[in-house]
């Protein structure tokens, strides 16, 4: 069986064997092995590079051993800072998504490809931050973790001039409302404490501890203030084109292909492919032979693979919009700084929930590199 995708992570495993996570277009995140990849005579090991579109053939009883690799596009060569950012994207995917879960990943594949290209063309730290935040928001939305960024907890549209606090289980709430709620909790706590001083047996200690915990949580949330205008802008530039899991559907061509491969459709993530006009008219794909990454190589390789899932090539499809941060560019420097900080805080809240105590090593390496550069 053949898969097309990217190597997200690889490590030594036993005698000359490599263990790796592979993001495939056909079945999502795969946990694979490659025997003899570290031997000097191996032809497979050198081909398993990061940020290179690969076509691999798997074999074995569990279809988890690589026995053939074809390079569809040359690896992207990043400067060191962008390299750590791209590794951070890789690490988020293989630490948050299930492996060998037999689901299609066209939407996720597109998010990942756009992040790689965005980092490749990023000319400043701000542009890198925007690309990373966009990927984080798309990934969280894809996993169904992100709240609506253009509505509050009651379903009302956010107001530009209002500040909002986040309650993770419910959504965004106006600052005035949460301040009133915090005052009410403070009154209840004082009342319970007075009652406890008069008659300790009449007060449940757990009730007092719960009120203290709730008050601490609200005080913590108040440190993370989100402006309504910034939340709406996050929705506009990060999520406007991103489909969520509940909106995705399988198209007939993909379903037929999966049935031919005897896949279990009940466990598949339903997806829908949308191709732009350029992809519809391509009749033959050619590749340049050179020593550096070319965006056209990656685009053409992806077009060729997606076309295998399409039979009706003459179908008219509306032109796809390109990623744009025009709303961000209209902000002042101070507003840009606040917007980036608030978007980072918001994504960090939900990523921390998903990651738990697991560290993101690429982020630590990037921070260490930046501290080193500042000290020089």
Q: For residue 25, tell me if it sits in a domain.
A: yes
Q: Which residues contact 44 (CB under 8 A, 6 or more apart)?
A: 34, 36, 37, 66, 67, 68, 69
Q: For residue 222, tell me if it sits in a domain.
A: no
* Lowest model confidence (mean pLDDT) among 104-108, 329-333, 361-365: 104-108
Cβ atoms 74, 292 nearer than 8 A: yes
Considering only CA atoms, give the Rg of the chain: 24
- Mean pLDDT (whole number) for 20-42: 88
CA-to-CA dists, residue 51 to 238, 325, 353, angstroms: 23, 24, 28
Higher pLDDT, 331 or 298: 331
Spatial CA neighbour of 312 closest among 256, 243, 247, 241 = 256
Q: For residue 34, tell me if it sits in a domain.
A: yes
* Lowest model confidence (mean pLDDT) among 47-51, 234-238, 243-247, 346-350: 243-247
41 pLDDT exceeds 70? yes
For residue 221, the 8-state DSSP code is H
Q: For residue 204, tell me if it sits in a domain.
A: no
**pLDDT band at residue 147 under the 50/70/90 scheme:** confident
What is the model's pLDDT at position 112? Answer: 92
Q: For residue 49, tell me if it sits in a domain.
A: yes
Cβ atoms 167, 269 nearer than 8 A: no
- Mean pLDDT (whole number) for 263-289: 31
What is the model's pLDDT at position 286? Answer: 32
* Lowest model confidence (mean pLDDT) among 211-220, 241-250, 280-289: 280-289
* Lowest model confidence (mean pLDDT) among 127-141, 180-194, 225-239: 180-194
d(CA 207, CA 223): 25
What is the model's pLDDT at position 181? Answer: 73
Cβ atoms 28, 97 nearer than 8 A: yes
**pLDDT band at residue 293 under the 50/70/90 scheme:** low
* Lowest model confidence (mean pLDDT) among 66-70, 114-118, 257-261: 257-261
- Mean pLDDT (whole number) for 245-251: 37
Structural domain harbouring 38: 1-75
Higher pLDDT, 293 or 194: 194
266 pLDDT exceeds 80? no
Q: For residue 199, tell me if it sits in a domain.
A: no
Q: For residue 53, tell me if it sits in a domain.
A: yes
Task: Give the H or E element holding residue 94.
Answer: helix 80-96
What is the model's pLDDT at position 189? Answer: 79
CB-facing half-sphere around the CA of 140: CA atoms within 13 A: 26
Higher pLDDT, 112 or 248: 112
For residue 60, the domain's CATH number is: 2.40.50.140
Domain count of the fold of the chain: 1
- Mean pLDDT (whole number) for 51-63: 88
In the sheet that holds 171-174, the strands lie side by side as 171-174, 163-167, 226-227
Angle between helices 125-142 and 106-121 (to 10 degrees): 170
**Cβ-based neighbour number of residue 242 at 10 Å:** 19
| Sign of the dihedral defined by the CA atoms of residues 87, 352, 112, 57, in that order | positive
What is the model's pLDDT at position 252? Answer: 44
Cβ atoms 119, 133 nearer than 8 A: no
User: What is the per-residue DSSP string for 8-60?
Assistant: EEEEE-SSS-EEEEEEETTTEEEEEEETTTTSTT-SSGGG--BT--EEEEEET
Cβ atoms 19, 13 nearer than 8 A: yes
Spatial CA neighbour of 319 closest among 241, 232, 235, 238 = 241
Q: For residue 11, tell me if it sits in a domain.
A: yes
CA-to-CA dists, residue 66 to 33, 193, 272, 368, angstroms: 6, 65, 28, 35
281 pLDDT exceeds 70? no
Highest mean pLDDT among 220-229, 240-249, 305-314, 333-342: 333-342
Q: Scan for tokens 């790689």, then name that residue.
A: 116
**pLDDT band at residue 308 under the 50/70/90 scheme:** low
**Cβ-based neighbour number of residue 218 at 10 Å:** 17
221 pLDDT exceeds 70? no
24 pLDDT exceeds 50? yes
């Amino acid at each position: 069986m053949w898969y097309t995708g990217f190597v997200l992570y690889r490590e030594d495993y036993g005698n000359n064997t490599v263990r790796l996570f592979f993001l495939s277009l056909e079945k999502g995140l795969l946990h694979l092995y490659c025997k003899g990849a570290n031997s000097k005579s191996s032809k497979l090991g050198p081909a398993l590079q990061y940020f290179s579109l690969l076509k691999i053939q798997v074999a074995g009883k569990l279809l988890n051993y690589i026995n053939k690799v074809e390079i569809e596009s040359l690896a992207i060569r990043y400067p060191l800072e962008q390299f750590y950012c791209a590794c951070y994207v890789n690490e988020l995917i293989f630490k948050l998504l299930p492996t060998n879960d037999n689901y299609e990943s066209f939407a996720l594949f597109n998010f990942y490809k756009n992040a790689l290209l965005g980092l490749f063309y990023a000319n400043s730290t701000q542009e890198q931050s925007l690309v990373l935040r966009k990927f984080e928001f798309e990934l969280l939305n894809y996993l169904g973790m992100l709240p609506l960024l253009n509505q509050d907890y009651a379903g009302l549209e956010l107001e530009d001039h209002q500040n909002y606090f986040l309650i993770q289980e419910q959504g965004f709430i106006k600052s005035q409302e949460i301040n009133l709620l915090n005052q009410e909790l403070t009154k209840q706590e004082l009342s319970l404490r007075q009652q406890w001083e008069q008659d300790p047996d009449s007060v449940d200690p757990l009730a007092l501890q719960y009120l203290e915990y709730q008050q601490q949580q609200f005080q913590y949330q108040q440190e993370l203030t989100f402006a309504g205008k910034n939340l709406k802008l996050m929705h506009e530039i990060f999520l406007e084109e991103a489909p969520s899991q509940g909106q995705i559907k399988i198209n007939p061509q993909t379903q037929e292909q999966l049935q031919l491969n005897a896949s279990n459709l009940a466990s598949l993530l339903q997806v829908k492919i949308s191709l732009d006009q350029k992809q519809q008219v391509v009749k033959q794909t050619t590749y340049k032979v050179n020593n550096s990454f070319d965006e056209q190589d990656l685009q053409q390789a992806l077009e060729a693979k997606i076309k295998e899932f399409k039979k009706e090539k003459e179908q008219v499809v509306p032109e796809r919009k390109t990623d744009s941060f025009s709303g961000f560019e209209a902000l002042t420097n101070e507003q840009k700084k606040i917007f980036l900080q608030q978007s980072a805080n918001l994504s960090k809240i939900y990523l921390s929930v998903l990651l738990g105590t697991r560290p993101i090593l690429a982020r630590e390496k990037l921070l260490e590199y930046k501290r080193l550069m500042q000290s020089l």
